[in-house]
Amino acid sequence: MRRKSILVRMETDSINQSGTLSHVLARDGLPLAMETRGPAGAPALLFAHGFGQSRHAWARAGQTLAEHGWRSMTFDARGHGDSARLADGGYRLEQFVDDLLTIAHSFATPPVLVGASMGGLLGLVAAGEARPDPFRALVLVDITPRWEAAGVERMLGFMRAHPRGFASLEEAAAEVAAYLPQRRRRKDRYELAQLLKRGDDGRLRWHWDPALLDTIAPEAERHQQRLLDAARNIDVPVLLVSGGRSDIVSEDTVAEFLQVVPHARHVVVPHATHTLAGDDNAAFTAAIEPFLDALPREGSTRSRTLTPTPLPEGEGLSTRGLP
């Protein structure tokens, strides 16, 4: 019998240690990849990633919080990571909101949502428009109902910059390092490989559907008033965590949000940018754990309506509103 290479064995070990992989079906039948960490009876955290990311953006935070007594659930949004893509590329914001609600409603009691960037915007819509409340608390990671257009354009520019992909992991790593020079820790080869998919031409491309750039990216800005209106309706505990060096949120957008949601708490991670959890996972988890620990730990995370199906193998903080 042929032995697996050292790299394959290392990757298999990493997968086994990272969580339990499964998939759930969206209401339109699209399979969504999900990963679970932590004890089955623990209170649930549902993580929603940003545009062009995947569930792997939450791997370290999810693992840390699972070790601290939470049931961490991360998933790939449609068109991202290991979730299915739409054949016609016709992505709409409502589909993403509905997917998030489908997963949230699968729990016996509402989970706490931790949403970064796009994931936070989806959480705002869902929490402000759906009743009964789909979440028992909301953690928004460097996102507000309005945002700084220049920062978003910089992000989209990076996403559009390499339509032909990369010849190697090293080439991709160099581009990521140039885009995120503040990162103290670089992704290792296995972590980087999770963000890329090899095409028929042998080149590596980001693990998301390019059609998203022509649909969801331009659509989001048209929903800013809707997002503000939804935020006004939120009546569950809210924590906004922002990066002190973010170019997506600013003092003005944060001030507007705190005026609209006066019961919200705000924590700043001074040295972090928009990619907060990736910049410094320890600082990120330290920023949100006091808020999470103050919530009543009640309820079960057992699935109510969905039965997950296994996937094929293949630094210092400044605060507002905190006691």
Average pLDDT of the residues in 187-194: 73
Q: What sign for the dihedral angle of Cα 314, 45, 319, 235? A: positive
Structure tokens at 22: 């499964």
Average pLDDT of the residues in 168-188: 77
Determine the Cα–Cα distance for residues 320 and 178; give it in Å rounded to an integer: 33
- 187: confidence class by pLDDT, cuts 50, 70, 90: low
Q: Pick the residue with more confidence: 182 or 235? A: 235
pLDDT confidence of residue 318:
40
pLDDT confidence of residue 319:
41
CATH number of domain containing 84: 3.40.50.1820
Kindly state whether residue 195 falls inside one of the protein's structural domains: no
pLDDT confidence of residue 5:
31
pLDDT confidence of residue 277:
87
Strands 112-116 and 196-198: unpaired
Q: Check whether 181 has a pLDDT greater than 80.
A: no
Q: Phi and psi (nearest 5°) for 95?
A: -65, -45
- 322: confidence class by pLDDT, cuts 50, 70, 90: very low
Maximum Cα interatomic distance, the chain, rounded to a whole number of Å: 65
Kindly state whether residue 46 falls inside one of the protein's structural domains: yes
Average pLDDT of the residues in 209-223: 86
Q: Check whether 208 has a pLDDT greater than 70.
A: yes
Average pLDDT of the residues in 231-236: 97
Sole residue written with tokens 């809707």: 226
pLDDT confidence of residue 275:
86
- Burial label for 219, CB within 10 Å (0-12, 13-18, 19+), is middle
pLDDT confidence of residue 315:
36
pLDDT confidence of residue 183:
64
Determine the Cα–Cα distance for residues 300 and 30; give it in Å rounded to an integer: 26
pLDDT confidence of residue 127:
98
222-240 residues labelled b (16+ CB within 10 A) or e (exposed)? ebeebbbbbbeebebbbbb
Kindly state whether residue 176 falls inside one of the protein's structural domains: no
Question: Could you give the percent of the chain with pLDDT greater than 70?
Answer: 84
Kindly state whether residue 184 falls inside one of the protein's structural domains: no
Sole residue written with tokens 């064995």: 9
Total residue length of the chain: 323
The one-letter amino acid code at 7 reads L
- DSSP assignments along 237-301, one per residue: -EEEEEETT-SSS-HHHHHHHHHHSTT-EEEEETT--SSHHHH-HHHHHHHHHHHHHTS---S--
Distances (CA, A) of 257 to 30, 97, 124, 144, 248: 33, 20, 11, 6, 14
Kindly state whether residue 256 falls inside one of the protein's structural domains: yes
Q: What is the pLDDT of residues 55-66, one digit of tens each?
A: 999 999 999 999
Kindly state whether residue 161 falls inside one of the protein's structural domains: no
Q: What is the pTM of this model?
A: 0.83
The answer for residues whose C-beta is within 8 angstroms of residue 240's C-beta and 6 or more apart is 140, 144, 254, 257, 258, 264, 265, 266, 267
Q: What is the pLDDT of residues 80-95, one digit of tens each?
A: 999 999 999 999 999 9
Q: Check whether 184 has a pLDDT greater than 60.
A: yes
pLDDT confidence of residue 6:
28
- Mean pLDDT, the chain, rounded, equals 85
pLDDT confidence of residue 262:
97
The secondary structure element, H or E, covering residue 142 is none
Determine the Cα–Cα distance for residues 110 and 103; give it in Å rounded to an integer: 10
Q: What is the pLDDT of residues 107-124, one digit of tens each?
A: 889 999 999 999 999 999
Domain count, the chain: 1
Q: What is the number of helices (H) and of strands (E) in the chain?
A: 12, 11
Domain that holds residue 146: 20-152+209-320
- DSSP assignments along 99-140, one per residue: HHHHHHTTBSSPPEEEEETHHHHHHHHHHHH-SS-S-SEEEE
Kindly state whether residue 216 falls inside one of the protein's structural domains: yes
Strands 196-198 and 204-206: antiparallel
Q: Check whether 13 has a pLDDT greater than 50.
A: no
Ranking 47-61, 168-182, 261-275 by mean pLDDT, the lowest is 168-182
